[in-house]
Structure 1
């Protein structure tokens, strides 16, 4: 799993806030880009956590669109960081497809067994 620190901004509360310690990366087992930002005040979970399901965001543009639809955005990625993220995904593409029970759980975690 790759993890890179970026800055995410939020206007959900009507006030502009930023999290300079947000994390973006690629999760090979879930085959998705992810974004975590703004530590939750009462739990250890981030207030913003996108990319928690199998193939949630197969492109960085999809991740950004999802973030903005929730009232968040991240600062423009440098060309170097964007290339690293794309390379991380490409390097992971040689992994075998998930199948069997684990694959079904990753794809449909709330489905009855």
Structure 2
């Protein structure tokens, strides 16, 4: 799993804030990009956590649009960071396909309750 620090902006508890320690990355087992920002002070669970399901965000722009739809945005990614994230996903290309029985089980487990 790759993890890179970026800045995410958004409205948290009614206040405009910025999280310079937000994390973006690629999760090979879930085959998705993810974004985490604004950790809760007591539980450490992020207020924003996107990319927790199989193939939730197969493109960086899809991830950004989802963040915007939740009232957040992240600073433009540098060309170097974008390239690293794309390379991280490409490196995952050698993993076995999870589309059979195991894939169906994982889809069932990842469905919202």
- Deviation above 4 Å: which 4+ runs of structure 1? 99-102
**Is the deviation greater in 102-111 or in 36-45?**
102-111
Contact 2:7 2:18 (8 Å CA) reproduced: yes
Alpha-carbon offset, residue 107 of structure 1: 1.9
Residue 108 (structure 1) shift: 2.7
CA distance in 2, matches of 1:79, 1:58: 18
Partner of 1:34: 34
State the alpha-carbon separation in 2 of the partners of residues 63 and 78 from structure 1.
16
Deviations 1:40-86 (Å, cap 9, x if unpaired)?
A: 23422111100000000000000000000000000000000000000
* Residues 1-113 of structure 1 mapped to structure 2, 5 A cutoff: 1-99=1-99, 102-109=102-109
What is the root-mean-square deviation of aligned Cα atoms in Å? 1.7
Q: CA separation of 1:76/1:110 partners in 2, compared to 1, >3 Å: closer, same or farther?
A: closer
The 10-residue stretch of structure 1 (72-81 or 90-99) with the greater mean CA deviation from structure 2 = 90-99
TM (norm. structure 2) is 0.89
